[in-house]
Structure 1
Amino acid sequence: MHPRLRGFGVAAVAALTVATAACSSSGTTDSAPVSLPAAPAAQQLSGVCPATVVVQLQWEPETDSGPLFGLLGPGYRVDADNGKVTGPLVADGKDTGVKLEIRAGGPAIGFQTVPSQMYVDPSITLGLSHSEQAVAAAAKQPLIAVTTLLRDSPQMIMWDPKSHPDWHGIADIGKTGAPVVVSQGQLYPDWLVSKGLLNSKQIDTSYDNSPSRFVADPTLAQQGFANSEPYVYEHEVSAWQKPVAYQLLRDVGYEGYARTVNVRADKLNELRPCLQRLVPMIQRATAQFRADPTHVNDIVVDVVAKTPKFTPYSAALAAYGSKTLIDKGLIGPDTDGVIGSFDLARVQRVIDGFAPILRKSGAAVPDHLAARDLVTTEFLDKTVTG
């Protein structure tokens, strides 16, 4: 995952479940101890999961990873120095007997990909990824996705509607030859070129997470995320303060899943007893977030506010981002009606679309890579439908 622009001001958060915290000199912020009721036996994870379930994010905490924070119980500890938060892993507010540790990605792991980090650090239980990243890693760092937090990706290409009133989508940008500024290492720009939507000469991989270039030259197009940049540019970039236009990659045929929840392929059997209980909890947390993201928004903003090295993430941006994910249908049940599920035919189309692009760039994508090599629906609770 590469940098995305985020907010520049953090609003105060009302502590709904977390007591007043005090910071230690080590950079760890402790919340007051909270006594939680025990989860029922069927939801107890002690003895079947690691004592601490470690989740590696692609970037810093944001609400597009929100369902995971819905599993983080009160009394959590924020380790600002190491970019992580640890607390009880809860199901419906009840203690499952193990801890949940959520680790930031991006700069916190030296901009390594999540697959590479999972193979470097065996303490990681679950890691978030995108479908095409799993395709790229399949030869040397294979992952198996056990569920997904988002049904569709919030990735987009944005532009200034005043500078380009005739642009209505990505295809219109491709007809003009205007630069499309993206961060280095993104895989989807080559896919857009392969589909004839953009020209390879348009792709400019110099995006550095700053709004300054777009503000200075609004004739170019730029990468973004629908749950972030449209709000940030209009409300938090003082030199802009007006709407941007955009089109989701989803709406031009991009089918990659975003925020897939993965285990290392060589750990699937070992983790199977854990996943049988944990994956349905993630599904239910996703459904609860979709129904009402307020509680998760508060936790994410609080965790970011207690970590000075993170890019500030305002309460207003968190609310906007969550609402966008929900309203645009980016989070929700798949074609089978199940939250967190996968359409195997869709996964295969992603493989078939990205494998040639990756091989052309020198990546070793296994021959005959199939959807069942990358995802499994084994652990899903088919009754979690909304």
Structure 2
Amino acid sequence: MTKMAAVGAIAAITIAACGSDDDSSSQESDTTDAAESSDAPEPDTTDTTEAAADETDETDDTAVMDEDAMEEGEAVDLSGVCPETIVIQTDWFPEAEHGALYQMVGENPQIDSGKKVVSGPLVTHGGAETGVNIEIRTGGPAIGFEQVVTTMAGDPDITFGYVLTDEAIENYADNPTTAFVAPLEINPQIIMWDPETYPDVESIADLATADGGDGVTIRYFETGAYMRYLVNDGQVTEAQLDGSYDGSPQIFISEGGAIAQQGFASAEPYNYENVFEDWAKPVDFELIHDAGWQAYAAPLGVLDSKKEELTDCMAAFTPVVQMATVDYYADPDAANELIIEAVNAYDDFWVYDQGLADFSVQAQLDLGLAGNGPDDVVGNFDEERLTAFIEAAGPVYGVEGLTVDDLVTNEYIDSSIGF
């Protein structure tokens, strides 16, 4: 990345990435040494997707995964149930938080710098082929900062997309979606502050009474629905809010840490300590997840209008995504190499290097951003957590009557796959 003098590029980077959790953009990239995660044990992946096979075993056009297929790296046939190319719309540039997707790209990937697309054969555990291709599309500025749900609704070529839970609620009336697997367990978004300036602040709520009792100004991206929740919940006050955040670190740095600011746990702590030379020291933060806004940040979802035709595909593809998630965090090097290569080829304001990729992977593991849910399964949705989130988010969006079943499903999850 660049130093402070060239921060105009990085400023734009975080407009979406650190801008807003319902803005379908994300600069999640983070923590220390990815190589450390290679010590993670190999999960028991027997009996994967038998449910999918059972559901479709009356025809020859089924996804075939015998009980040892994924463990041994054998081929998994998705060609009978999935499109020839599974097109996935992401919410931002390539980054380590999207690692599970890039883990599924096989040998000799194609990088289209004009369209900002990475494509190639879709592979599963051990590089085994699936009979279909994968296309990963860049979000954020590449789609005009449009929400992924909106982009999906306007482009029939998109198979699945990153559908944040709060974005799903916001768009439910016009474009209902169902999320079916969640590679990330916890949203990386944070509010951060300078621990030297505010040594007694330990949480977002503490910022309301700091600075002599007047409260610390919090800069945030004005469309962030989580902030309305924090106000309604009494954790922050209207007087603290400054919605002018544009992703740039310059104001935070020029203020000498007198203000607080939003960001991502998987990026800002690294950048402020190691990249922004005019700051070059740690920041403290609290995840908005820990403050109560517990949306899933990057689950794969499908438009409900396409759910019936893609049901068999989701049943077969979901365990592949689960396995890719486990494999990526066990050994992220190859996928991160592709991520960095793609970012360099795109040659846009978004920049990404090995240090940030390594930091991101380790931070995601250390903070539980990636991992199993409350059980031993990766990728599934915690229904109790989502029920509470719907209750918290409903008033923010003026939506009533939604249930967990309206927004997500665990029906395709293979419960044998976990970290």
Task: Report the TM-score when normalising by structure 1.
Answer: 0.87
Checking the alignment, whether the CA contact within 8 Å between 2:170 and 2:397 is kept in structure 1 is yes
Q: How far apart in 2 are the matches of 1:174 and 1:131?
A: 27
1:330-349 C-alpha deviation (Å, 9 max, x unpaired): 11111232110111121111
Q: Pick the aligned partner of 1:89 from 119, 122, 136.
A: 122
- Paired residues in the alignment total 350
Checking the alignment, whether the CA contact within 8 Å between 2:182 and 2:296 is kept in structure 1 is yes
Q: Bigger shift: 224-233 or 87-96?
A: 87-96
Q: How far apart in 1 are the matches of 2:145 and 2:344?
A: 21
RMSD of aligned C-alpha atoms? Answer: 1.9
Residue matched to 1:79: 112
Q: Pick the aligned partner of 2:339 from 296, 300, 322.
A: 300
Q: Pick the aligned partner of 2:413 from 363, 380, 384.
A: 380
Q: How far apart in 2 are the matches of 1:383 and 1:322?
A: 23
The DSSP-based 3-state class of the residue aligned with 1:351 is helix
Q: Quote how far apart the aligned CAs of 1:385 are.
A: 2.1
Q: Pick the aligned partner of 1:286 from 322, 325, 335.
A: 325
Q: State how 1:201-350 maps to structure 2 within 5 Å.
A: 201-217=239-255, 218-350=257-389
Checking the alignment, whether the CA contact within 8 Å between 1:147 and 1:279 is kept in structure 2 is yes
Q: Which residue identity lines up with residue 114 of structure 2 in the other structure?
A: D
1:52-97 C-alpha deviation (Å, 9 max, x unpaired): 1111111111111111110011211111111111111111202211
Q: State how 1:1-386 maps to structure 2 within 5 Å.
A: 3-4=16-17, 40=74, 43-92=76-125, 93-176=127-210, 177-217=215-255, 218-359=257-398, 365=399, 367-386=400-419
Q: Quote how far apart the aligned CAs of 1:178 are.
A: 1.8
Q: Which residue identity lines up with residue 219 of structure 2 in the other structure?
A: V
1:225-248 C-alpha deviation (Å, 9 max, x unpaired): 111000011111122111111111
Higher helix share: 2
Q: How far apart in 2 are the matches of 1:175 and 1:126?
A: 44
Checking the alignment, whether the CA contact within 8 Å between 2:15 and 2:246 is kept in structure 1 is no
Q: Bigger shift: 169-178 or 279-288?
A: 169-178
Q: How far apart in 2 are the matches of 1:202 and 1:130?
A: 26
Q: Quote how far apart the aligned CAs of 1:48 are.
A: 1.4
- Shift of the 67–310 alpha-carbon distance from structure 1 to 2, 3 Å rule, reads farther
Q: Which residue identity lines up with residue 378 of structure 2 in the other structure?
A: I
1:78-123 C-alpha deviation (Å, 9 max, x unpaired): 1111111111111120221111111111100001001111101111
Q: Quote how far apart the aligned CAs of 1:368 are.
A: 1.4
Checking the alignment, whether the CA contact within 8 Å between 1:175 and 1:198 is kept in structure 2 is no
Q: How far apart in 2 are the matches of 1:57 and 1:246?
A: 26
Checking the alignment, whether the CA contact within 8 Å between 1:149 and 1:340 is kept in structure 2 is yes
Q: Quote how far apart the aligned CAs of 1:47 are.
A: 3.0
Q: Quote how far apart the aligned CAs of 1:253 are.
A: 2.6
The DSSP-based 3-state class of the residue aligned with 2:289 is helix
Q: Which residue identity lines up with residue 186 of structure 1 in the other structure?
A: G
Q: Which residue identity lines up with residue 392 of structure 2 in the other structure?
A: G
- Shift of the 40–288 alpha-carbon distance from structure 1 to 2, 3 Å rule, reads closer
The DSSP-based 3-state class of the residue aligned with 1:102 is strand
Q: Quote how far apart the aligned CAs of 1:371 are.
A: 0.3
The DSSP-based 3-state class of the residue aligned with 1:341 is coil
Residue matched to 2:61: none
The DSSP-based 3-state class of the residue aligned with 1:99 is strand
The DSSP-based 3-state class of the residue aligned with 1:274 is helix
Checking the alignment, whether the CA contact within 8 Å between 1:60 and 1:310 is kept in structure 2 is no
Checking the alignment, whether the CA contact within 8 Å between 1:2 and 1:106 is kept in structure 2 is no
Q: Which residue identity lines up with residue 241 of structure 2 in the other structure?
A: I
Q: Quote how far apart the aligned CAs of 1:40 are.
A: 4.7
Q: Quote how far apart the aligned CAs of 1:310 are.
A: 4.7
Residue matched to 1:12: none
Checking the alignment, whether the CA contact within 8 Å between 1:72 and 1:87 is kept in structure 2 is yes
Residue matched to 2:47: none
Q: How far apart in 2 are the matches of 1:4 and 1:206?
A: 15
The DSSP-based 3-state class of the residue aligned with 1:140 is coil
Of all paired residues, the percent bearing the same amino acid is: 38
Q: Which runs of at least 4 in structure 1 moved beyond 6 Å after TM superposition? A: none
Q: Bigger shift: 80-89 or 294-303?
A: 294-303
Q: Which residue identity lines up with residue 143 of structure 1 in the other structure?
A: T
- Shift of the 40–77 alpha-carbon distance from structure 1 to 2, 3 Å rule, reads same
Checking the alignment, whether the CA contact within 8 Å between 1:130 and 1:260 is kept in structure 2 is yes
Residue matched to 1:32: none
Q: Where does the alignment leave 5 or more consecutive residues of structure 1 unmatched?
A: 8-38, 360-364
Checking the alignment, whether the CA contact within 8 Å between 1:77 and 1:87 is kept in structure 2 is yes
